[in-house]
Amino acid sequence: MPYIEPELRENRGEIEAAMHKALPKLVTLQDIKGDLHMHTERTDGNNTLEEMARAAESRGYEYVGITDHSKHLTVAHGLDVKDVIAQIKQIDKLNSKLKNVTILKSIEVDILEDGSLDLPDSILKELDYTVCSVHYKFKLTKQQQTERVIRAMDNPYFNIFAHPTGRILLEREPYEIDIERILRAAKERGCILELNSHPNRLDLDDIHCRLAKDLGVKIAISTDAHNTEALEHIRYGVNQARRGWLEKADVINTRSLAQLRGIFQKRSGRG
C-alpha cells in the first residue's frame, strides 16, 4: 500500500482507498493563496484595513478579503450601506498603492430570521463576494434553521456560508441544522461553505468536509481573523481540511485571483 497520511488514519475507508491507489492528495498550507474572512477595527477587529492587508501580503498571499460585519450585528458596530460605500472607496484607494496583494471587497452579512440578508442587493452587487452568517436566533428548530439558510442561499449575491453550525468549542453547542441538506442546496445554487480556522470553531468539522467533497461542494478555508496575528490560524483550518480528505481542487482559495473572481462572477453575474 502507498503511505497513508496521518490525518486520514481514522478507519474511514483510507485502507481500502490505499489498496486501490485512490488516496486523496491532501491540500497543504502552501496551496493557500489568500484569506477570505477577516475583520478590521471598523467593526470588531483590532487592526486597520491596511494593517490586515500588509499582514496578508507578508504571508505571500495573492489576495485578501475584508469582511467586516453588517449593520444587524450592532454589538460589533456593523456597517450600513453608507459605511460599506465608504469602505469600498477606501479599498480602491489602498489597492492603487499595494503591489503584491489585492484587497477584495466583501462583508460578513447577517442572515436574518426570515432568510433575507441584512443589506440590500443594490450594495451587495458592488462587492466582489459575500460571506453570510447566522449570528442570532440559534434556538430555531432544525427545519426552521435549515430553511432560513436555504432561503438566504436563493439570493444570487450569497457566496460563502460562514461557520455553518455556529459552534464554539467548549462554550456553545452547534445550532440545529441539517448540514447535508444545506450542502445539497449549496451544490444546486453554486454556493460555497466555509471551514472556519479559528481554533475555537473549526467549523465545518472533518465529517462534513468529507461529505462536501463527496457532493462536489467547494470549501473556503478562512481564519475569521480579528487581528493580524490570527492570520496564523489558517494552519488549523488546513489540518481540519486534510482530516476531511480535501484536496487542493476542493478549496476555492487555492485558486489564482482571476480564477477566484470567475467563481464568484459565475454565481452572481458581478463584473
Each residue's pLDDT expressed in tens, for the chain with a length of 271 residues: 999 999 999 999 999 999 999 999 999 999 999 999 999 999 999 999 999 999 999 999 999 999 999 999 998 899 999 999 999 999 999 999 999 999 999 999 999 999 999 999 999 999 999 999 999 999 999 999 999 999 999 999 999 999 999 999 999 999 999 999 999 999 999 999 999 999 999 999 999 999 999 999 999 999 999 999 999 999 999 999 999 999 999 999 999 999 999 999 988 777 6
The reported pLDDT for the residue numbered 269 is 76
| Residue from 243, 271, 252 nearest 131 by CA | 252
Give the model's pLDDT for residue 145: 98
Identify the pLDDT of residue 259.
Answer: 97
pLDDT, position 161: 98
At 271 the pLDDT is: 60
CATH fold of 28-268, please? TIM Barrel (3.20.20)
